[in-house]
Amino acid sequence: MNDLHTKTAHELHGLLGKKAISATELTRALIERNQAAEPLVQAFITPTPEIALAEATRVDARLHAGEPVTPLAGVPLAYKDNICTAGVRTTCASKMLANFVPPYDATAVAKLKATGAVMLGKLNMDEFALGASTENSAFFPSRNPWDRNRVPGGSSGGAAAAVAAGEVVYALGSDTGGSVRQPAAFCGIVGLKPTYGAVSRYGVVSVASSLDQVGTLTRDVRDCALVLNAICGQDPLDSTSAPVEHPDYTALLGQPVTGWRIGIPKEYLGAELDPQVRAILENAVKVLTGLGAEVAECSLPHTEYSLPVYSLITAAEVSSNLARYDGVRFGLRVEEADLETMFRKTRAAGFGPEVKRRILLGTHILSAGYYEAYYLEALKVRTLIRRDFDQVFRRFDLLLSPTSPTVAFKFGERSTDTLETDRSGVYTLAANLAGIPAISVNGGFAAGLPVGVQFMGKPFAEPQLLQVAYAFEQATQGHRPLPDLGV
């Protein structure tokens, strides 16, 4: 079969179960796809074809012996390069960690290994997950498979581009303020940020610890549910993971959404919303109404403060978390005779301009005289943002919004204006601040470019979120088109 790279994980599981293909054949097909597509997309920092083939061989042995296998066994994936993988370098797309090889796996990686998943490598990103385009990678930018003159989004841009281009079947990323959902929207795939605490953060390089969350990037909603089944759950190695029971996230897929109350926050319909994106959202409302849902306008009055609150909290936590990169414990070290010069030159050489900007801002925010005025005030407004969601979820089952106010922008279009780049995530930030789950699915196309629509739910309402996303996806078939790379 020469179209294996176009298939979903659940379709491939069926083929593996019927022995129509082997895991090794599938893995070789994806490796060949990578060799053809990677010069055009540049999604990978570290390919691991040898590891993938070894893992596929083990799955084939189990299949040959007639042993039962999980839905993800033998299915190739890759990880955003801030998720630790034992024996495989984890760079965070930074010169600071260019040669860092973790001695352990992140919990999410360990769980997927236990399912028999096949790792094809580590994926490009904005340096230390700070950015929305992958233009901040210390190595190279990844390109959007739908238009290679445009960004794939960020910071999980390499992951979204790899899935959309058929280089991997699915990927894991991280979402601090929309870093899974925005690139998913730009690349026309499904991106889920689970509830804060639903998936262990152990082994994910910390940037903004109160916001970071492991997320999934898949070709359709059913794959999203299968991956979430594999990685969710409380972890004793992560004190922020929640002690809650996790259901089978595929159980409600295909169930009707008749009578569901879905709200559209009016604050997400401002002047910054591109008319073409608005048209896609309006069509989504028609689709949901046709499915029997009730859609009405609602309000999240403090959401207008999401961007400044996010910027302040992120900068403060970045400053604290990145203090460990000092040339002493691990990572880059610029040798100098005295300690202070070594610190200064190591951090100057190891960090890129965007990371430095956030560290400087965060250090200022946390300094004496400014901590109360900025950081504590931001935390208070964050509470108000969360309360807005609590209030609106008393009336509505879910919320609907655009994922991004525009389609993917061109390279260089916003790289000199960090605030303008951050605004591409203005509709995704609030979900991280409130800790609620949110999913982006492809809503359609504007001038040949994908447009994402976002559903947000109550804490730990992932089953309902996936249910409505699946119903919408099946009604629109927006997940079916794949970009033509000409290879």
277 membership: H or E segment, kind and range: helix 275-290
Quick one: residue 346, left, alpha or beta (phi over 0 = left, psi -120 to 50 = alpha)? alpha
Structure tokens that stand for 335 in this block: 């040798």
Helix, strand, or coil (residue 353): helix
DSSP 195: P
Say whether 288 sits in a helix, a strand or coil.
helix
How many residues are there in the chain?
487
Residue 220, classed as helix, strand or coil, is coil
Sheet of 170-174: strand order equals: 44-47, 118-123, 76-80, 170-174, 214-218, 190-193, 438-446, 449-456, 398-402, 261-265, 294-298
- Measured distance CA(403)–CA(438) in Å, rounded: 10
Distance (Å, rounded) from C-alpha 71 to C-alpha 218? 14
Strands, E assignment, 15-128: 44-47, 76-80, 118-123
CA pair distance 475, 89, nearest whole angstrom: 42
Distance CA 133, CA 76 (A): 25
Going by their DSSP bridges, the two strands 76-80 and 261-265 should be labelled as unpaired
Of 302, 306, 287, the C-alpha closest to 400 is 287
Which one-letter DSSP state was computed for residue 59?
A: H
CB 390 within 8 A of CB 301: no
- Give the CA angle between residues 351, 110, 41 to the nearest 5°: 50
* Structure-token match 């306008």, residue found: 297
C-alpha 365/C-alpha 319 separation (Å) is 9
Q: Which residues are catalytic?
A: 80, 155, 179
Other beta carbons within 10 Å of 146: 24
Which pair of structure tokens corresponds to residue 336?
Answer: 């100098």
For residue 136, give Cα distances in angstroms to 25, 96, 411. 36, 14, 11
